[in-house]
Chain A
């Protein structure tokens, strides 16, 4: 497959500075993959990203986009082909949300109707109801909502490439998790080529198809899949940077949809209580999961709840720990620990019950993963002893 983006000995030296900010970076980024640039502050990851759309002009080296050398072309026209999302979002405060999203289509001279249709489509894509948000101003939105608008704005003219500079960095952890999951789901549909900068190794493992770890020497230390980086760090720097708890981090690599989900007894919440009790006896569990008519989880009820004299629709524990199918096992484990019943309920896009994750599911997945990685690394090492594992190594 031909590379979507190729960086060829890309180097940046700021005037008056001895040290290079980015030192000879070579990279090939394939169509449809998410490549995460990660590393400590000042390692050159952001500078590298910003050289791709030439917000920062490289000192030397070439940038090849879809086979075309764009190092010296008109930067404004180049940037209209590349979506750009930054941490502070940078929405235009004096323009409505619709007008913000329409920025690039307007530059490209699209017709009015086409722009309106596209804006509505994009807002729906990032889960913002167009009727409500179209005419609002950025200051009327929360941080998470603004970031969604930022993503919609970057995708407006359907650019093949998106550059994202710590897009979820300024958002609270819970919203960040949700935005990450939503974004990964979106990416399955849109299949963009994405270069993503973060300083958070956990985010890198979760988001990246491949990860490039930058070191203090402003070079890439290792450029490989998350599995390879965790199991076969190229050098001591990478090992330190990925940190301890590598096995726990590996839970970030597995999506809930890829494991065999457990089953849990469920009943419609309008169930007769004798039937519910009979069902509990049959499966030998302490709790029964009640779902609504759309199979969305509602409450947990125990045998004792069902035996109460004042039994009604509201007795029992509310359902809290729910994860979508594209959540990671790490997310699921987190939810599980907060759940009163000790399981995380898995729901589909419509919120309907699909199964559960419990501690056994997690253990099985960890064991499988360990075995698989060992095998893959062994095979890779056998076929290409000098480089397959640490592509672009130090």
Chain B
């Protein structure tokens, strides 16, 4: 269990990298959330537009991350910016799809009664549809976060911060006594980051979902 010893001996280093990792992942999800939710809100009432938005987001997810990293390297050079841009693209699918689904699944009777009382379509969206779709949108953000946390590890290849650096450091020293343990320790740390972020979303979900919607 050399990797465990490595973790115990180097807590500061791993925690520092883990915080970087989590921060970059959340920044990417936040940006993607704003873009994805906007796309969802603009398309959910038009079935054709909604299908196109979902299909485009899905297609982007099929691009191998190495290929995309190569492309952004051309535009942004080495460093965090290019990696975050890539992560935003990957995170779009679950966010766009869940926003659209959440908004479309609002009971039409609720929207009709809201309109019937004289709420404008904009007020219906802000006061009724978005609050009701919120738990579904949060679920999308959770999935997006998991996706981003794992892809970010590879981002170290083009100069991103985070736990990926530890893995690449180990891989470039493969054959040495400690390389294998370091790689495992970094991987376990990534799993821990994922679990902490998952807990974060569970908490956000709890705190922001109105009582009337909880089971």
Q: Are the C-beta atoms of A77 and B107 separated by less than 8 Å?
A: no
Write out the residue numbers on chain A whose beta carbons fall within 8 Å of the beta carbon of B115.
55, 79
**A90-B118 contact, Cβ under 8 Å, with A96-B212, A137-B212, A138-B212:** no
A92 to B131, CA, bound (A): 10
Write out the residue numbers on chain B whose beta carbons fall within 8 Å of the beta carbon of A154.
117
A1 within 8 A of B: no
Q: Which of A90-109 contact B (CB under 8 A)?
A: 90-96, 103-104, 107
Q: Which residue of A lies closest to B111 (CB)?
A: A90
Interface flags for A158-185 (1: CB within 8 Å of B; 0: not) read 0000010000000000000000000000
Minimum Cβ distance to chain A for residue B19 (Å): 35
Q: Which residues of B contact A (CB under 8 A)?
A: 107, 109-120, 123, 128, 131-132, 210-213
Q: Are the C-beta atoms of B210 and A94 separated by less than 8 Å?
A: yes
Q: Are the C-beta atoms of B118 and A104 separated by less than 8 Å?
A: yes
A137 to B211, CA, bound (A): 8
Minimum Cβ distance to chain B for residue A293 (Å): 43
A-B contact pairs, 6 of them (CB 8 A): A88-B107, A90-B107, A90-B110, A90-B111, A153-B117, A163-B116
Q: Are the C-beta atoms of B116 and A86 separated by less than 8 Å?
A: yes
A354 to B131, CA, bound (A): 51
> Count of chain A residues with Cβ under 8 Å from any Cβ of B?
30
Interface flags for A78-89 (1: CB within 8 Å of B; 0: not) read 111010101111
Q: Are the C-beta atoms of B114 and A90 separated by less than 8 Å?
A: yes
Write out the residue numbers on chain A whose beta carbons fall within 8 Å of the beta carbon of B211.
137
Q: Are the C-beta atoms of B128 and A77 separated by less than 8 Å?
A: no
Apart from A88-B107, A90-B114: 16 A-B pairs, beta carbons within 8 A = A55-B112, A77-B118, A79-B117, A80-B117, A84-B116, A86-B109, A86-B112, A87-B109, A93-B110, A94-B131, A94-B212, A103-B114, A103-B119, A104-B118, A107-B118, A138-B212
A138 to B112, CA, bound (A): 17
**A88-B109 contact, Cβ under 8 Å, with A104-B118, A137-B212:** yes
A27 to B111, CA, bound (A): 28
Q: Are the C-beta atoms of A107 and B117 separated by less than 8 Å?
A: yes
Write out the residue numbers on chain A whose beta carbons fall within 8 Å of the beta carbon of B110.
90-93
Q: Are the C-beta atoms of B119 and A76 separated by less than 8 Å?
A: yes
**A93-B213 contact, Cβ under 8 Å, with A86-B112, A88-B107:** yes
Write out the residue numbers on chain A whose beta carbons fall within 8 Å of the beta carbon of B128.
92
Chain A to chain B: the 9 pairs with minimum beta-carbon distance, closest first = A90-B113, A84-B116, A137-B212, A88-B109, A80-B118, A79-B118, A94-B210, A90-B109, A90-B110
**A95-B117 contact, Cβ under 8 Å, with A88-B107, A90-B107:** no
A112 within 8 A of B: no
Write out the residue numbers on chain A whose beta carbons fall within 8 Å of the beta carbon of B107.
88, 90
A315 to B108, CA, bound (A): 54
Minimum Cβ distance to chain B for residue A178 (Å): 23
Minimum Cβ distance to chain B for residue A36 (Å): 19
